[in-house]
Structure 1
């Protein structure tokens, strides 16, 4: 596939080379956490495991899982394997549900991080010829700083805009000749709306070529919407602060899943209910073990993300394993009257329906003893607001589509254009109003 420059030789290792590197690094990581992190030593002893018991890659399945609450229980630095004097950078999650998840990086970790981002932005099409505008929020969030260093590493010019001040974003984009936009998909949609309001056609009046989106899940329909509005080629990248931040995986131009940097991360897919490891192509929860991090090595982290793994060589020439588009999160999954519903299923329906915009909100509530769902979605054309018959027809059309996909009935509430909240970071799509939620 032309134009698919490959940044690192490790991206085209054969399977045996990957396995050899992974096993060597896994052994070192297990030994390091056993000796340096009391939490892991205790966990290993509980299941009767010592570092010497890890002799094959398959032995990883003997190791205990790490979960989000382990970070909170060991707040702030209890999971660190390096001394504080060796940490050159701290980041943390937003901590909206309690104490933040704190992560740290040694100088070597920072080098690794920028190297992995360089791989991901290169596979997405960015080169030293590009000007990249980062519209993630700078701060404790890992996204902006992580991508910043990797983009500089490939030689791109970086505009560290941060999020917000959207009209200024558009002005800078136009005046500086931005060619790559880095943001959440929902904020990119909002920016396109504001550009239109300013009399600027995002597709024809700006020079954007690439969209590198992350920070929240999105569907193929959302990608198509972004490509159409901006006139770009957009890719998705994947990471989370507990594992490093962005840099775990990203899409190439073939768009056949996200390539995992598996010389640094060992991925597994498990049944989220039983913890049993599943085979290639089977759908389940992604589990990641970091095998090159110094400050914060993490063993078998349960990401809660639902996906599958595919090992055949990609059209782009890379041999790294690919994870399919995330179907949802096991903790985002709504259980309505015994039926499993992912918000991404609803988004796919809405974005493939004419007459409505890409902004929506899902409300879940009880009516008597029954779970009910209401989907608020914006109209594109406010002239429909005055036509009850047209509104009713469109509402019924969406309702029927949702019933087909979800297997349950839902109420559809069509609202005026630009009446739902916009988000500069992760979009809050679901409001669960059931008691105890």
Structure 2
């Protein structure tokens, strides 16, 4: 099913004309309402009138996550606080969150985009969708929730965790669709198998995202649960879940480019790459009122194609992500940077600056183990002292990362030294 055929099946020339008109209007509004962008444009000798259409997009400055942090919390908002109806935030590398604001119209567009995703997955008014993404400042839960309500489906707002209760509600309420991370759904599937309840649930589809996953994982999920699994992509800075998603042909994610203009650039030269070539994904928002962004660098590595899809949609499609151009990890939907771990360990004072992050996927759930070097004296003391320090570090890291971690204390010189860039991460997950 196509939710909005007018926009999702629009001809390329017509789409470019729409994008151009929206871009010109957005640039003019941002120039006059956001001091940060006005100064950036002035430094480049740019005025709003210099942007006449999408062909001038590359004249605009890039925006990075650091720009949002430097203007924390509301410095990039383009509308008065009285017109902000909601804020969300994602975790930051230094404790400062990336704050996102929404106008009433922004929320309506978000609902529309998520409704498109759900319709693409065959979800309709008769379906019951269990939303098992986290609610709160994280955009996942509420983003899918409001989109499902907009579609007319029945929403079961479970949030994440408490697998036993998830399964009980799934069974008792006759849930037909679930939205969560793919690794968590595999965990649910295995718990269902162990309980002998696979045949007692009515699931037909899953809307999965918030972490990297593979085509093999999709097949495993579909086989274990006898359902169809769909990939949803988004990032809070641009909107939240629903920026792009795949259809039943799973041949790339359709980008809702009537709202978000995608580019793929070389992360070193910052120049556009050819269609089909891998580079860093960049978005310009053209309908956002509260937090419009010029050429936001996502750090996600992908390629793009503009061919018409077999499903009939003409929207640009991005390929499965091949990694990131920075060192950020995504673990159970949470953004984790090695620098967060380093900052937290330095605060403790009883550890050396040498540490190692080991990420693995055990029983289909991402697990983070942090190796920390401590002074030799700790190993000659009572076991309880080591245990207490381990608990203390685990507590500090969980507070800093928003994620439970396993801590392993190791003796000095255990972690390999490097003359170049220190190797801080071993990712054992097979994500590509």
Which TM-score bucket, shorter chain as reference?
A: 0.7 to 0.9
Residue 25 of structure 1, CA deviation: 0.5
- Report SS of the residue matched to 1:151: helix
* Deviating more after overlay: 58-67 vs 89-98: 89-98
Q: Deviations over 1:232-286 (max 9, x none)?
A: 1001011100001112111111111111011111000000111011121111000
For residue 214 of structure 1, the aligned residue among 196, 199, 209 is 209
Q: 1:355-366 counterparts in 2 under 5 A? A: 358=364
Q: CA RMSD in A?
A: 2.7
Separation in structure 1 between the aligned mates of residue 370 and residue 99 of structure 2, nearest angstrom = 32
Separation in structure 2 between the aligned mates of residue 327 and residue 129 of structure 1, nearest angstrom = 36
For residue 109 of structure 2, the aligned residue among 112, 124, 140 is 112
Alignment of 1:65 with 2:58, yes or no, is no
Q: Deviations over 1:347-398 (max 9, x none)?
A: xxx99xxxx9545668899xxxxxxxxxxxxxxxxxxxxxxxxxxxxxxxxx
Residue 84 of structure 1, CA deviation: 0.3
Give the corresponding residue for 1:345: none
Separation in structure 1 between the aligned mates of residue 54 and residue 137 of structure 2, nearest angstrom = 34
Residue 32 of structure 1, CA deviation: 1.2
Q: Deviations over 1:96-121 (max 9, x none)?
A: 54200111111111111101111111
Structure 1 residues 265 and 299: CA distance shift in structure 2, 3 A: same
Structure 1 residues 189 and 245: CA distance shift in structure 2, 3 A: same
Residue 158 of structure 1, CA deviation: 0.5
Give the corresponding residue for 1:133: 130
- Report SS of the residue matched to 1:250: strand
Separation in structure 2 between the aligned mates of residue 359 and residue 29 of structure 1, nearest angstrom = 41
Separation in structure 1 between the aligned mates of residue 217 and residue 77 of structure 2, nearest angstrom = 38
For residue 90 of structure 1, the aligned residue among 87, 91, 109 is 87
User: Which aligned runs of 4 or more in structure 1 are off by greater than 3 angstroms?
Assistant: 4-8, 356-365, 425-429, 431-437
Give the corresponding residue for 1:11: 8
Separation in structure 2 between the aligned mates of residue 119 and residue 359 of structure 1, nearest angstrom = 29
Alignment of 1:295 with 2:290, yes or no, is yes
CA contact (8 A) 2:369 2:405 kept: no
Residue 188 of structure 1, CA deviation: 1.0
Give the corresponding residue for 2:252: 257
CA contact (8 A) 1:364 1:433 kept: no
- Consecutive unaligned residues in structure 1, runs of 5 or more: 335-349, 366-424
* Deviating more after overlay: 256-265 vs 356-365: 356-365
Separation in structure 1 between the aligned mates of residue 174 and residue 89 of structure 2, nearest angstrom = 32
For residue 50 of structure 2, the aligned residue among 36, 40, 53 is 53
Q: Deviations over 1:299-327 (max 9, x none)?
A: 00000001111111111111111111111
CA contact (8 A) 1:282 1:309 kept: yes
For residue 97 of structure 2, the aligned residue among 89, 97, 100 is 100
For residue 197 of structure 2, the aligned residue among 192, 197, 201 is 201
Q: Deviations over 1:389-419 (max 9, x none)?
A: xxxxxxxxxxxxxxxxxxxxxxxxxxxxxxx
Structure 1 residues 53 and 426: CA distance shift in structure 2, 3 A: farther
How many matched pairs? 356
Structure 1 residues 114 and 362: CA distance shift in structure 2, 3 A: closer
Q: 1:37-436 counterparts in 2 under 5 A? A: 37-95=34-92, 97-197=94-194, 199-202=195-198, 204-332=199-327, 358=364, 435=422
- Report SS of the residue matched to 2:30: helix
Separation in structure 1 between the aligned mates of residue 145 and residue 119 of structure 2, nearest angstrom = 13
Structure 1 residues 56 and 229: CA distance shift in structure 2, 3 A: same
CA contact (8 A) 2:15 2:258 kept: yes
- Report SS of the residue matched to 1:328: coil
Separation in structure 2 between the aligned mates of residue 212 and residue 101 of structure 1, nearest angstrom = 25
Separation in structure 1 between the aligned mates of residue 290 and residue 13 of structure 2, nearest angstrom = 28
Residue 329 of structure 1, CA deviation: 1.3
Separation in structure 1 between the aligned mates of residue 305 and residue 111 of structure 2, nearest angstrom = 25
- Consecutive unaligned residues in structure 2, runs of 5 or more: 330-359, 372-401, 409-414, 425-432
Separation in structure 1 between the aligned mates of residue 119 and residue 300 of structure 2, nearest angstrom = 25
Separation in structure 2 between the aligned mates of residue 206 and residue 151 of structure 1, nearest angstrom = 20
CA contact (8 A) 1:248 1:265 kept: yes
Residue 8 of structure 1, CA deviation: 3.9
Give the corresponding residue for 1:409: none
Structure 1 residues 39 and 117: CA distance shift in structure 2, 3 A: same
